[in-house]
Amino acid sequence: MMNLQRVIEDVQKGMIPAKLYSDPEIFAIERRRVFGHAWLFLAHESEIRDPGDYVVRRIVDDSFIVCRDEDGEVRVLFNMCLHRGMQVCRSEIGNTSHFRCPYHAWTYSNSGDLVGVPFHRDAYGGEEGLKKQGVGLLPAPRVATYAGLIFASLDANAPELSDYLGDFRFYLDFYLRHSEEGPEFRGPQRFRVNANWKIGAENFAGDTYHTPHTHASVADIDLFSATKARKRKEGALFFAGAGGGTTYKLPTANFRENLLHIGYPDGMINRMESIWSPEHHTMIGQAGFMPSAATLLPNLSFVHNWPIVNSEGLTTPFISVRLWQPVSATETEVLSWFVVDQNAPEWYKTSSYKAYIMCFGTSGMFEQDDVENWTSITAVSKGLMADRLNLNSRMGLKRDGSPVNEPIDWPAPGRAYQGFGEYNQRDLLGLWCDLMSKDDIEIPRISTLD
Amino acid sequence: MRLILDGRKTLSSVNERYGQVVDFLYHEAELLDSCRHREWLELLTDDITYQAPVRITTAHSLSDSALSDMDHFDEDGYSLQKRVERLETEHAWAEDPPSRTRRFVTNIRCWLGDSPEELLTRCNLLLFRSRGDIGPADLLSAQRTDLLRDEGGSLRLARREILLDESVLRTQNLAVFL
């Protein structure tokens, strides 16, 4: 029998029970307490630009239609017919004014309203029997957007999204706000890996220590040389609000020089310069830190790297957003998007896309080796011996709890350390502990009869 | 750009050039199954393009069931060369130890290309991939449409379009070539 309190206490000490990565009991609690309360990413507004556009996405086992209704409003609708529970939408992307259930043809508008019930009068006695007015597909309890990211929470009492994100919004702006019009999201590539969802989330939040070894091959072939240990160690690790991430140290103290160095063209830099805050300028310029990977609680990650994309040695950056969507304690569906500013020149979009495909996603030369680690950890954490082991996630802390290095003077929101350390993984799992410590609350069932 | 087969002259399976295509595809499969990647690269033309679009589930028809702007592979000579170089390092953990793979190439059909040097071929591919000793083996099913070009008396692959049959891949990565 699992003692959750004991697990949480160990995690808070930075000693991680190995079974955190495969135990079905822990996952059953995560489903309710983490995924039942947190703000969860579903889609980006650029994926549903026009009225009627929709994508179908999941929150663990729940299928949601994320669509733009005829009035242009974003809706997140539980994909289950009110009548017999059939999924009303079974394609994953499209454009439609209505969703009609294949079973008995109950029909809903793309704002979710129930607008058609066959033989409504004859079979149900009209409105007196089955109320259509004001009835519709269940909306996600809370929906909100930031920088075009559409989030939902299954907790009607969740804090405001902006409060939940907190200062992590500064880093979302870095990844996603390169012009007034914002980015386009392409994809996602989707693949299932036999790994617990938290391993990827922790890795992207702060694991610069794995880069020199796990990703040695990309430096070996001169695809991306910044991964070498000496370089990687100079990076800073930031944590702010609901997430944290990693950076690389760049060679100059000049904002434009550093962005040019990693391959951004002048036109894009001009737009970044005008849209970003003074703290962005200082972080990238004077301080010389360029964000790379990051994670937002619980399962949304970001990555920004700048490999060499052709035989002439052209360096081009790319950004990917990825969701670690749990399937079970030991299986995760990875959704990986390529993200590029809408106003970027076409040559840049092509080159950046190439950089993404080479590095991340299903065939990415970084991602391949990450997943090999994560599936192996998950597999080996299932056994009785693993049950006895607390994994050491205390890098950066001495045994008495004092830090190996003090936080650095950081010109951007949140706190930061320079060098290797597992500060961010501990902070992320600390937030996970807060969610896991919530009491389960009874949620009344919704009835269309009322 | 997609390879167009409609309206092209079909080559019968008793045609000698059809036989050359079959020989090419079987030889290629054997090279990949035996991790002879460097030799595989030599089968590619310098202007190779190698693409595998992401499949999606859409209503009504299969004709629009691949994303036009997202791929699993979108490769040229440079990136394929880098992928092979990577596999040759001592740090390509995704394939170290290597998977045991077997490529089953079937349903081969051939068409004449735009020039006498070019042939088009379409086949079904079933890739069996077994890693380590824990998880179940993976199966990847795909249709491949290839443009082959005769260069100095031997066929080389100039373009490959891979239409995978899964919208969500069940293999943990595409560290193997299709």
Q: For residue range B30-69, what is the model confidence (pLDDT) as tens digits? A: 999 999 999 999 999 999 999 999 999 998 777 779 999 9
Instruction: Kindly report the average pLDDT of chain A as a whole number.
Output: 96
Query: Which CATH number is A109's domain given?
Result: 2.102.10.10
| A21 inside domain | no
| B99 inside domain | yes
| A197 inside domain | yes
Q: For residue range A50-74, what is the model confidence (pLDDT) as tens digits? A: 999 999 999 999 999 999 999 999 9
| A150 inside domain | no
CA distance A148 to chain B (A): 20
Which range is least confidently modeled, A127-131, A326-330, A347-351?
A127-131
- Whether residue A326 sits in one domain with residue A274: yes
Task: Choose from A87, A185, A191 for mutation: most chain B CBs within 10 A.
Answer: A191
The total number of structural domains that make up chain A: 2
CA of A222: which chain B residue's CA is closest? B82
Which pLDDT belongs to residue A134?
92
Is the pLDDT reported for residue A450 higher than 80? no
Residue numbers in chain B where pLDDT is lower than 70: 1
Q: For residue range A94-129, what is the model confidence (pLDDT) as tens digits? A: 999 999 999 999 999 999 999 999 999 999 999 999
B172 to A213: CB separation less than 8 angstroms, yes or no: no
Q: For residue range A405-421, what is the model confidence (pLDDT) as tens digits? A: 999 999 999 999 999 99
A244 SS3 class: strand
Range of the domain at B59: 10-164
Rounded to an integer, what distance in angstroms lies between the CA atom of residue A398 and that of residue B127? 49
- Chain B positions touching A362 (Cβ under 8 A) are 72, 169, 173-174
Asked if A170 contacts A413 with a C-beta cutoff of 8 angstroms, the reply is: yes
- Whether residue A352 sits in one domain with residue A248: yes
- Whether residue A199 sits in one domain with residue A65: no
- Whether residue A111 sits in one domain with residue A203: no
Prediction pTM value = 0.97
- Whether residue A356 sits in one domain with residue A241: yes
- Whether residue A205 sits in one domain with residue A125: no
- Whether residue A228 sits in one domain with residue A356: yes
Nearest-CB residue to B58 (from A93, A216, A379): A93
| A273 inside domain | yes
The pLDDT of A381-402, averaged and rounded, is: 96
Q: For residue range A7-51, what is the model confidence (pLDDT) as tens digits? A: 999 999 999 999 999 999 999 999 999 999 999 999 999 999 999
| B175 inside domain | no
Extract the tokens encoding A259.
């962005």
Nearest-CB residue to A216 (from B91, B94, B95): B91
Range of the domain at A342: 182-436
- Chain A positions touching B167 (Cβ under 8 A) are 92, 190
Nearest to B65 by CA among B54, B74, B56, B73: B56
Is the pLDDT reported for residue A449 higher than 70? no
| A215 inside domain | yes
Contact B130/A at CB under 8 A: no
| B169 inside domain | no
- Whether residue A187 sits in one domain with residue A127: no
Q: For residue range A220-259, what is the model confidence (pLDDT) as tens digits? A: 999 987 777 778 889 999 999 999 999 999 989 999 999 9
| Displacement of CA B101 from its chain's centroid (Å) | 14
| A450 inside domain | no
Q: What are the CA-CA distances from residue A40 to residues A26, A82, A205, A307, A424 (Å)? A: 19, 24, 16, 30, 20
| B97 inside domain | yes
Residues with Cβ within 8 Å of A383's Cβ and at least 6 positions away in sequence, in order, are: none
The total number of structural domains that make up chain B: 1
Query: Which CATH number is B107's domain given?
Result: 3.10.450.50
Instruction: Please return the burial class of A414, using the count of CB atoms within 10 Å of its CB with bins 0-12, 13-18 and 19+.
Output: buried
| A240 inside domain | yes
- Whether residue A263 sits in one domain with residue A355: yes
Instruction: Kindly report the average pLDDT of chain B as a whole number.
Output: 96
Contact B134/A at CB under 8 A: yes
Q: Report how many Cβ contacts below 8 Å link chain A to chain B.
A: 122
| A9 inside domain | no
Asked if A408 contacts A236 with a C-beta cutoff of 8 angstroms, the reply is: yes
Last residue of a domain, one of A145, A171, A195: A145
B58 to A221: CB separation less than 8 angstroms, yes or no: no
The angle formed by the CA atoms of residues A326, A83 and A96, to the nearest 5 degrees, is 70
Q: For residue range B87-96, what is the model confidence (pLDDT) as tens digits? A: 999 999 999 9
